[in-house]
Amino acid sequence: MTATSAGTADFPHPAIAGKLEALAARDRQAVIASLLEQDSTRVDRFKAEAAGWRLDFSRHLLQDESAATLLELAADARVLEDRDALFSASPLNHTEGRAVLHTLLRAQAPPPGLEREYAEVAECKSRMGQWVQRVHDGSHVGHRGQRISTIVNIGIGGSDLGPRMVVEALGGFRVPGIDVRFCANVDPADLNAVLTGLDPHSTLFIVCSKTLRTEETLYNARSARQWMLDAGIPEDGLAQHFLAVSTNLEAAREFGIPAANILPMWDWVGGRYSLWSAIGWSIAFAIGMPRFEELLAGADAMDQHFHSAEARDNMPLWLSLLEIWYVNFMGAQVHAVIPYQQQLARLPAFLQQLSMESNGKSVNHSGQALGYATAPILWGDVGTNGQHSFHQLLHQGTVLCPVDFVLITGDTGASEGKSRLLANGLSQMRALMLGRDLVASQRSLTARGTDAERAAELAPHLVIPGNRPSSTLSCEALTPYSLGALLALYEHKTFCSGRIWQINSFDQWGVELGKEMGAEIFAALDGSGQRFDPSTDAALAGIRHD
Ligand code: F6P
């Protein structure tokens, strides 16, 4: 299988791009296993370490000269110079005229010039922690005096994916007696499933919406409110059961949530970068504020690494350069993240918004259409499950799909299952790299008793091309700290790629049109009579049973 060069017309830094095109033509013919066999130092050079994580990128179609040229590209693009903007109030999000300061949410000390913002974050975290404490110690109770036993987060996108993933990933760190559930979809089936079995009198809702204009969240918040009223909780008793997080404090108050129950968000935090803010309130309820602070500390450790490490040793930068290499020079249009850790099952879903809502763009900073590829389709699922669903394509398909395997390597002695999990992860990386040729396939058939003639017929079907690239991200244990560092790693990878592609990674204008059309079509379902296009009109007629 050979990758074709992606659209690199008018790729920035043309001289370096030309070199990379030529190097890619050579590296497409490389044999990864041979690169490792011929150079015993490769596995020690094609690695980066930070905040307890180790990145092994030795199993790639990438030779030394290509790696060095990618570093030249990063230098020419001034990626590491630009990273300072993530730690200052410069309007990195230029189409919305906003700074990008999610790093401030986890900063362990006020960055110069951001003392006011740092103080606001600290004050918000203090109020967040007081509520968590009061619910945990029972000093905050429901309208009828019952302790709160269930937190329901109502939010979608960045107001759901991050908190939901972190709460699931850190299941081993849960505070006893507190169940945390998430509702995101406007489909009533979502909220109905979440509310099933709950006692309204011991349920606390957190309405999370940076804008508080998101129709799904507003609809679900209204439905939850009605559920409480139907349970006999009076209007003036609702305040004990509703919290909110938003930049839109007025809308929260209009919904009937008192100011004391509302925590602020800031427009310098993008939704997909917001789990570190009060949007992560559900996380703090689930694992307690000290553990939430550990999550922040892990992210801050990765921030410090990203902010100070030289390019050669910079882990987020290497993840980004590998993305640029495969997308823009090796022709890949997809990228898989496969965590071999059940608690990280929702990591790919979180990374989809982070990567594809940030870098799924096709115009540059000046609004000019791009002639080159940007964000690939990020997908994935947990291992070993994927081995029994999509790994067939990874091994014998026709798609070039670089894979990030995420491994938690500690406590293998804890159980046979954990050892089997890691053995499977390592074997998948090895099989992707080595494959199995025709002779070995034939031999494997005869070894299981297939006669020679049949074996000769079948062998081509068992050939595994191999030479398929993957990285390994590994750490000793999945803790709040290590998870925070991992998520910050991918945030900074996303930043680096956006800078090299010269796009704005922090707006999301592409989601607006669908929302606008949704409002019109919703009105048409109610009989507004508006006509659209033959396909939509036919669908509407069918739904309305015209
Ligand atoms: O889909 C666009 C988007 O604005 C995301 O960026 C955001 O995370 C999500 O919708 C929810 O937005 P809000 O937190 O404002 O409800």
So what's the pLDDT on residue 1?
37
> What is 14-86+309-391+402-434+469-501's CATH number?
3.40.50.10490
| 309 Cβ neighbours under 8 A, 6+ residues apart | 50, 315, 317
| Local structure of 47: helix, strand or coil | strand
Whole-model pTM? 0.97
Using the atom order of ligand 1, give the atom closest to the CA of residue 216. 16
> What is 102-293's CATH number?
3.40.50.10490
* Cα(223) to centroid(ligand 1), Å: 19
Structure tokens at 484: 């925070």
The residue among 177, 224, 185 whose CA lies nearest residue 204 is 224
Tell me the C-alpha to C-alpha distance, in Å, between residue 265 and each of 41, 50, 101, 176, 247.
48, 29, 12, 28, 5
Decide whether any atom of ligand 1 lies within 6 Å of the 265 Cβ: no
User: Atom 16 in ligand 1: which residue has the minimum CA distance?
Assistant: 209
Distance (Å, whole) CA 42 – CA 53: 19
* Cα(304) to centroid(ligand 1), Å: 28
Sign of CA pseudo-dihedral 303, 307, 313, 318: positive
Decide whether any atom of ligand 1 lies within 6 Å of the 163 Cβ: no
Residues that are catalytic: 357, 388, 515
Decide whether any atom of ligand 1 lies within 6 Å of the 209 Cβ: yes
Decide whether any atom of ligand 1 lies within 6 Å of the 248 Cβ: no
| Tens digits of residue pLDDT in 154-200 | 999 999 999 999 999 999 999 999 999 999 999 999 999 999 999 99
So what's the pLDDT on residue 5?
42
**Mode of pairing for the β-strands spanning 53-56 and 47-50:** antiparallel
So what's the pLDDT on residue 249?
87
Decide whether any atom of ligand 1 lies within 6 Å of the 220 Cβ: no
* Cα(267) to centroid(ligand 1), Å: 12
| Tens digits of residue pLDDT in 282-317 | 999 999 999 999 999 999 999 999 999 999 999 999
So what's the pLDDT on residue 412?
67
Decide whether any atom of ligand 1 lies within 6 Å of the 246 Cβ: no
| Local structure of 390: helix, strand or coil | coil
* Cα(508) to centroid(ligand 1), Å: 9
Q: Where are the domains of the chain?
A: 14-86+309-391+402-434+469-501, 102-293, 437-468, 510-545
Residues of the chain with pLDDT under 50: 1-6
* Cα(377) to centroid(ligand 1), Å: 20
The residue among 401, 400, 397 whose CA lies nearest residue 463 is 397
Topology match between the domains 14-86+309-391+402-434+469-501 and 102-293: yes
